[in-house]
Structure 1
Amino acid sequence: MKYNQTTLQKLERILSESGYVYRYERGTFQSGYCILEQKRVVVLNKFLNAEGRINTLLELIPQLQISIDMLTQESQKLYDEVLKASLATE
């Protein structure tokens, strides 16, 4: 997976299409993100660079409750790749 702005936007699109709101804020984050499950809000550390944001989303997305039916075909493909990569690292 390439670490560029396009990849970051595609990962953010997965969150958006799943009904999650993602925000970049500053705060004391242990791992670069905070999840507010009841409100479906993901808060990412705004001081991360693009590569850090991508790595954080790759770590985060498999933990979220995402309905694959809500995703576009392109997002479904990327979501499957993210899940496979996550399983490979376990």
Structure 2
Amino acid sequence: MPVKYTKSYLDKLEDVFAASEYHLRYEKGNFKSGYCILKDTKIVIINKYFTLEGKINALIDILKTLDFNPKSFANQKQQDFLTELKQTELKL
């Protein structure tokens, strides 16, 4: 599945986090990778000064790191989207 760098694609990624137990926040910070994952409190923080492309790449990277189970989502579209994302490789 090709990654689309559009606002609607970013919204889809944000919806996956909204349906999960993790909270997604955009804040300023000097994270080396551009994001920070606080696993104990289930919070994901993305650098708010990232470009659209940077935010999308960071969210995809985080989704692969957290290894969400697509079957744990009630919405079938989100399950399919997450399954496709797991097969996506970012080319930087």
Is the shorter-chain TM-score for this pair beyond 0.5, marking a shared fold? yes
CA contact (8 A) 1:18 1:67 kept: no
Q: 1:15 aligns with which of 14, 17, 23?
A: 17
Structure 1 residues 23-77: Cα deviation after superposition (integer angstroms, max 9, x where no partner):
0000111111100001110000000011110011111101114232332111111
Mapped partners of 2:69, 2:41: distance in 1: 16
Residue range with higher mean Cα deviation, 21-30 or 59-68: 59-68
Mapped partners of 1:63, 1:80: distance in 2: 14
Structure 1: gaps (5+ residues): none
**TM-score of the pair, normalised by structure 2:** 0.86
Matched residues, percent identical? Answer: 35
Q: Give the superposed CA RMSD.
A: 1.6
Structure with more helix by fraction? 1
Q: Secondary structure at the match of 2:44?
A: strand
